[in-house]
Amino acid sequence: MSRFYYYLILINMIANIISAVPTILLYYREDGAVSALIVGAMLGLVIVVIYTKFFNAFPGMTFPELLVKTMPKWFYYPLLCFMAIMWFVAGASTLITYTFLLIRYLTPDIPIMLIGLTLIASIIFGCFMKTDRVLYTIEIIFLINFPIIIFIIIKAYTSKSLDWDFIKAAMLHVVEMPNMNVITACIFLSLGVVNLVIFNRFFTQKQNFGLKQIIVVAFSSIATIFTTYFIPMGFHGLKSIDELVYPWVATSDSMRMKFFLIERLVYVFLLLNLSMAFLSILIHWHVAVELFKFVFRLEKIKYKDIPIGYLIIILFFTAASLFLIVTLTEYQLFQYSKYFFNLTAVNFVTMIFLLFYIARRMKGAKDSKN
């Protein structure tokens, strides 16, 4: 399997460590979170396998192109518009989360509107790059940060402040009924594969996706979910974790580097996640832009022979994101993220039936040609 495929999956998992996902998981720690982690990891893996096998069967083709060949216009235009909005919201939620983090931990005296605008300006134009250039950008930034990610994970697992008795106590809740909000949050961690709806145009050759590749994805998913949930628990305990707004930031602040220039690991962690958040937003918004381009034919929208379609999208993304940044509170962001994860899980699980239908229609069309 191409390394770029793994980037799409891993970045979605890593970027969401700092988002509302760990807050949701830990909020339901005494209400079925542990059993839900197991269910969510299994369902997430099933989604990854089905979506990967589907797109692998049609190398180089995007989801809109497949819909054009198999479905009527009245069906696929509203569907693609809805999906574009979902991808925009997914990127915007990461943007808003990180804006709140910058205000709280790094730049408390700078107006929140200015921080949001700076982040948007650094990302928005990259979304209009060609898909292959987006992937090359992702690779460069990801490979630079990967050693730091590994270092932080090793540092967390080997820290003397990590109390495994807290983790064992949390595991005892495995007998409780799985919590649905935790299941959908875990599924969201695995939804990086859905970006293939556009990024599949890069994979023009059929990829080798067998048991070995599934084991790699399963291991990455389980390790991410285990680390996301149990490491903050191991540092802060089952009761104290309830007082933390951003559990992973507090966890990283519990670690020190005695023989390094920067003693507090929290600053390294925040900068690392800034780059991961940048990649996550870039991926989500690139897919959203491509879907909007397909639905509204942006290149054909002109005013006095001047193409303004792309400008409309830039203004829409900027205005909508800034509006959400200045109106939402951290508590509202947490609540709405929970609803959004539920919606995405239902949507992309339901779409599996659509994928089977499209695959059947494509096979029928191929057989009729032969």
Average pLDDT over residues 194-215: 88
Kindly tell me if the per-residue pLDDT of 247 is higher than 90. no
Q: Biggest alpha carbon distance in the chain?
A: 69
Residues 302-330 have pLDDT tens digits of: 777 777 888 888 999 999 999 999 898 88
Buried b / exposed e along 3-37 (16+ C-beta atoms within 10 A): ebbbbbbbbbbbbbbbbbbbbbbbbbbeebbbbbb
C-alpha separations of 364 from 50, 311, 353, 359, 370 in Å: 20, 41, 17, 9, 10
Q: For position 370, what pLDDT does the model report?
A: 61
Domain of residue 92: give its range: 3-368
Residues 124-161 have pLDDT tens digits of: 888 888 888 988 988 998 888 888 888 888 888 888 88
Kindly tell me if the per-residue pLDDT of 364 is higher than 90. no
Alpha-helix runs per DSSP H in 127-264: 131-158, 164-171, 180-189, 196-199, 211-240, 247-253
Contact 176, 32 (CB under 8 A): yes
Return the DSSP state at 104: I
Residues 291-302 have pLDDT tens digits of: 999 988 887 877
Please count the structural domains in the chain. Answer: 1
Return the DSSP state at 177: P
Band (pLDDT 50/70/90 cuts) for residue 259 is low
In this prediction the pTM is: 0.91
Helix (H) or strand (E) holding 123: helix 112-124
Helix (H) or strand (E) holding 306: strand 306-307
User: What's the CA dihedral at 51, 57, 59, 60 to 10 degrees?
Assistant: -50
* Beta-bridge mates of residue 302: 307
C-alpha separations of 46 from 52, 59, 169 in Å: 10, 21, 29
Phi, psi of 90 (to 5 degrees): -60, -45
Helix (H) or strand (E) holding 303: strand 302-303
Residues 71-113 have pLDDT tens digits of: 898 998 999 999 999 999 999 988 898 888 888 877 778 888 8
We report the CATH number of the domain holding residue 139 as: 1.10.4160.10
Q: What's the CA gap between 319 and 346, in Å, rounded?
A: 28
Q: How many CA atoms lie within 13 A of 6 on its CB side?
A: 18
